[in-house]
Structure 1
Amino acid sequence: MLTSELIFIPSPGAGHLPPTLELAKLLLQRDQRLSATIIMMNISFGAKNSTETRPCNPRLRFIDIPCDDSTMALMTPKSFLFSFIQHHKPHVRDIVRGIIESNSVRLVGFVLDMFCTAMTDVANEFGAPTYTYFTSGATTLGLMLYLQARLDHEGYDIIGLKNSESKLCAPSFINPVPAKVLPKSLFDKEGGSKEFLRLMGRFRESKGIIVNSCLELETHGVEYLLRKDNDIPPVFAVGPIVNLENKKDDTKNDEIMRWLNEQPESSVVFLCFGSMGSFNEKQVKEIAVAIERSGHRFLWSLRRPASKEKVEYPKEYENVEEVLPEGFLERTSSFGKVIGWAPQIAVLSHPSVGGFVSHCGWNSTLESICWCGVPMAAWPLYAEQQLNAFLLVVELGMAVEIRMDYQTEARTGVSDGMMVTAKEIEDGIRKLMSDGELRKKVKDMKEKSRASIVEGGSAHTSIGNLINDLMNVTI
């Protein structure tokens, strides 16, 4: 019997690879007729994709495209991702041809990461439909498609709102959106603002768009995307899809868990800013002062900014004391702990954690709000995180604000002179840890979100609809 084969092409990076793997696993669990191949385009600074962490499933396989000298030549901070995807088209074409020729499979489609829609050209060569996987929220997806449509049909240039106090009325948001919380890339002429929005235009060539969210969390945004009058392909809201595995040093994990075990319930504020989040030394000292003044127990994931000259992730400090105020570690040793990398889902799941100071990356948002029921203090850094913060604070009322319009360069912590004061951070922490109404609201959303993925729930139904759409494909 022919197996119905799906080709997954994630973009490299910690925010994209895990949700792709989890989606593939979910689809295979739901339908035994499906098989999947995940094609990994590797980069030297990317998340390590060890085969030890890959699930043992005969219907799920991984094919790695190694990072060679020709790949490294593309590693410029401004444009590497778009060039990187184009560079890999011939490799992907050859891999897919080999799968078709050597296996008894029926190719039913490509699932392309939101940044990999250029691979639509490869899918078209095989006569296969594409499904775009938007690994952020439905509300943000709606906004980007709205701006793309206005650019294409009206010539509307969003760059005109740069550095303004204007607000944008977008149909996927209930409230007008301040220009200062729009992604920085939208205002970057040199970095290709229009090219980015036209990339969104390729979403409309998809047979469907998969979004890692659910109706319960983003009711207004999902309902907008499902409307029949907005010229958007069918949308499948299949979230929350959360990666529950922690793949780092078990010894460090055990040490962190032992410390958390000694803390009272809901007493610890967890500060963590994602795989690419970091701050300069002056900002680190402001955070330290705020933490100490707040008096709350804390677990702080602190990492050294990456180099400005090359593309890499932030790294661990060899000596964290060099960036902290003198004596900070000694003064806070009885109620706090500073660490490097954090096993985030394990920490958020721990009963002693009562609040999360976060960059509002979408994976972190789903983990905190939908899976663990931990309220957040929003301190976004880059990409669409400011929009996520606006959604959480203003639209949903599920987070407190530290600074919603803070903007940095990913990896380097460079913030164009922006500084969040110790008082702002301290006030945010105090409000986060004392707001009982916020805590109750987030706990309720956790229950609703988890209910969405079981039989009869909105996400469970949406996944079934996606599988039906896939299986009806004839090539």
Structure 2
Amino acid sequence: MSDETKAMTYIYMDLPCFFPSALSACPTRFLLTISISPTQSQQFNSDFYSSRRNPRSPIVILSTLITFRLQLRMSGKAELVFIPGPGVGHLLSAVEMAKLLVGRDEGLSVTVLVMKLTDSSDMNSIADSVSASSSTGRIRFIELPRAELQNGSPSLVSFLNAVEAYKSHVRDVVRGLADSGSGSASPRLAGFVVDMFCAPMIDVANEFSVPSYLFFTSSATFLGAMLHLQALQDDCQQDIGALVDSEATVDYPGLANPLNIKLYMPSELRKKDISSLFLGLAKRFRETKGIVVNTFEELEQRAVEAVFDDKLPLLYPVGPILTLKGGSDDKLGSGDIVKWLDDQPPESVLFLCFGSMGSFREDQVRQIAHALERSVHRFLWSLRRPPPGGKFDVPQSYDDPNEVLPEGFLERTAGQGKVIGWAPQVEVLAHPAVGGFVSHCGWNSTLESIWFGVPVAAWPMYAEQHFNAYALVEELGVAVEIRMDYRKGDEVTVTAEEIERGIRRLMETEREDKKEKVRLMSEKSRRALMEGGSSHSNLGRDLKCVD
């Protein structure tokens, strides 16, 4: 007996009163209609909304069945338009999500629209490499005309203005897709999957009368925080900028402990225009048909349960979505790095890497170097030069790291560590020689560290990284802190003493505790993606939405 038949039998036998009183049909859909009394309808609505906190409850399964399985479209092919946010991390996550979807449904195809906001040859070559290596018969990439940030500034205002400017380009591309797909053998346009920073593209989806799904590339906990702050602003008339600039603690849904909002939320929210834009995005999240989150229930169970609410779209935790294979590693020298790691003892190397946009001023670089040398622990350090003048660009490798390192550092530590430029992060974290990770706590890096079971020393720098670091250190206990209130662009320098203290906690005094906790979570992350696992099941629910 099929799963669908089982579900229908279950409905007839056990849930006869939980059908809405009327369901409208359209000519291209098969529909089962059952009439019940107003009292029964009211009971259904009450039970349905309360049950949405549990994504696999009978009522949610029933709702999914009614909406997506009994209203079957006659065409078996569907196409989704993916609109990732500009930036390597957002593009990589979106591409991996697209691969998961088409891998589970042979009738589904995906068109990824690639936005580029910079002339950086490095950033663009990475995007081109991802597109070339991921294109298949059912995943294709269309590069949109380049848009420039105002004054080259990476502020949220200029970023969102650039996304707004892309609307006309997206509209033109999708119109062409819709026209070319009008034949009976062509896939129908089934909807948009928009990045968390591309919520304005919901307007374009509405113009084509197709649903939008949000792809949230950060944590469910941060999603809940955004929605909570947005509700405080719009429903309670709370001045969020003033709140973020205060010493107040806030009880966030999804967190066990009250949070110091000034310390852990993005500092940009202190500006009224920024906070209005940022929380305006969160308000638009509520307009989508569903929210797909790159997390897994076992990692953020409290947050996932908190976000399920009768005023929100259904949540689909389908992660961890990881890019486990690189496209240009050999060209960038990963072979030499892996060979060096091969010569090190198991779990002896401390890996320092701060994301695709991570870099430090010269005085901070020297403090890190002093801490590493004094700790005597083996290290692999990804060190890169900041873009000139604060420009929004990918940091470059130093031609000669000696220009920023303490005199004689490379010679004195030749047998202790290795300083590199770009790092093949996934390969490094997967290597058995790595025993700790000094990280900025970007969400992709966080998921990778958990997947490979490598404990973290948290050094967040910008955006929601402080929030992620708080969850790792205080909520999950899989990380130690180096400095939680560091902000990139501030004139604060983290001292060598602070850095060394964090390194020793990670690699010595708290080593066994953190290693065991992250090992257990690593096992849960892998089980979540297996058949029958939470994320595997949630992806199946997600696919039913586009049937």
3-state SS, counterpart of residue 202 of structure 2: helix
Aligned to 1:233: 313
Matching residue's letter, 2:518? V
The answer (yes or no) to whether the contact 2:149–2:162 under 8 Å persists in 1 is: no
Q: Is the 8 A contact 1:321 1:329 kept in 2?
A: yes
1:445 equivalent to 2:521? Answer: yes
The 5 A counterparts of 1:278-293 are: 278-293=359-374
Residues 190-237 of structure 1: per-residue CA shift (max 9 Å, x gap) = 5x21111111100000000110001111111111112x34x2210000
> Quick check: 1:97 aligned with 2:178?
no
Deviation track 1:223-260 (CA, whole Å, cap 9, x = no partner) reads 1112x34x221000000000112234515100000100
For 2:503, the equivalent position in structure 1 comes to: 429
Give the Å deviation of 1:141.
Answer: 0.5
**How far off its partner does 1:314 sit?**
1.4
Aligned to 2:385, what secondary structure does the other structure show? Answer: coil
Structure 2 counterparts to residues 214-363 of structure 1, below 5 A = 214-226=296-308, 228-229=309-310, 231-251=311-331, 252-308=333-389, 310-363=391-444
Change (3 A) 1:72 1:200: closer
Distance 1:159 1:334 in 2: 50
Alpha-carbon offset, residue 311 of structure 1 = 2.4
Q: Residues 73 and 418 of structure 1: is their aligned pair in 2 closer, same or farther, counting only changes over 3 Å?
A: closer
**CA deviation after TM superposition for structure 1 residue 77, in Å:** 2.9
Q: Contact 1:181/1:405 (CA < 8 Å) preserved in 2?
A: yes
One-letter code aligned to 1:32: E
Distance 2:86 2:97 in 1: 16
Mapped to 2, the partners of 1:235 and 1:263 lie a distance apart of: 43
Whether the aligned pair in 2 keeps the contact of 1:248 and 1:343 (CA below 8 Å) is: no
Is the 8 Å Cα contact of residues 270 and 298 (structure 1) preserved in structure 2?
Answer: yes
Q: Deviations over 1:5-61 (max 9, x none)?
A: 100000110220000000000000011111110011123233432257432421111
CA distance in 1, matches of 2:542, 2:151: 35
Confirm or deny: 8 A CA contact 1:41 1:66 kept in the other structure.
yes
Q: TM-score by structure 1 length?
A: 0.94
List per-residue Cα deviations over 1:371-400 (Å, max 9, x = no partner): 101000000000000000000000110100
Separation (CA, whole Å) in 2 of partners of 1:383 and 1:77: 11
| 1:458 partnered with 2:534 | yes
TM-score normalised to the size of structure 2? Answer: 0.82
Once the two structures are superposed, what CA deviation does each residue of 1:158-184 show, in whole Å capped at 9, x if it has no partner? 222345432111112111111211111
Q: Distance in 2 between matches of 1:467 and 1:308?
A: 45
Distance 1:148 1:335 in 2: 49
Q: Distance in 1 between matches of 2:354 and 2:270?
A: 24
1:387 aligns with 2:467: yes
TM-superposition CA deviations, 1:329-351 (whole Å, max 9, x none):
00000010000010000000000
Any idea what SS the aligned residue of 2:505 has? helix
Tell me, which stretches of 5 or more residues in structure 2 are unaligned? 1-74
Identify the structure with bigger relative contact order (alpha carbons < 8 Å, sequence gap 6+): 1
The answer to whether the 8 A contact 1:74-1:84 is kept is no
Residue by residue over 1:415-465, the C-alpha shift from the partner in whole angstroms, topping out at 9 and shown as x without a partner, is x22221111111111111122011011011101110001111000010001
Runs (5+) with no aligned partner, structure 1: 409-413
Letter paired with 2:233: L
Corresponding residue of 1:114 = 196
Q: 1:212 maps to what in 2?
A: 294
**Cα RMSD (Å):** 1.5
Match for 1:166 among 248, 252, 257? 248
Deviates most, 70-79 or 438-447: 70-79
In structure 2, relative to structure 1, the CA distance for the partners of 1:202 and 1:460 (3 Å cut) is: same
Counterpart check, 1:81 vs 2:159: yes
- Taking the aligned partners of 1:242 and 1:250, their CA distance within structure 2 comes to 20
Sequence identity (%): 52
Q: Establish whether residue 59 from structure 1 lines up as the match of residue 142 from structure 2.
A: no
Amino acid at match of 1:99: L
Letter of the structure 2 residue corresponding to residue 101 of structure 1 = D
Whole-Å separation in 2 of the counterparts to 1:9 and 1:233: 19
Secondary structure at 2:140 match in 1: strand
The answer on whether the counterparts of 2:220 and 2:293 sit within 8 Å (CA) in structure 1 is: yes
Kept in 1, the 8 Å contact 2:367–2:496? The answer is: yes
Distance 2:495 2:390 in 1: 28
- Alignment pair present for 1:187 and 2:187: no
In the alignment, is residue 18 of structure 1 matched against residue 99 of structure 2?
Answer: no
Larger mean CA deviation between 318-327 and 294-303 belongs to 318-327
1:71·1:87 contact (CA, 8 Å) conserved in 2?
A: no
DSSP-derived class of the 1:250 partner: coil
The structure that has the greater radius of gyration is: 2
Residue 406 (1) aligns with residue 486 (2): yes
| SS of equivalent to 2:194 | strand
CA contact (8 A) 2:221 2:255 kept: yes
SS of match in other structure, 2:356:
coil
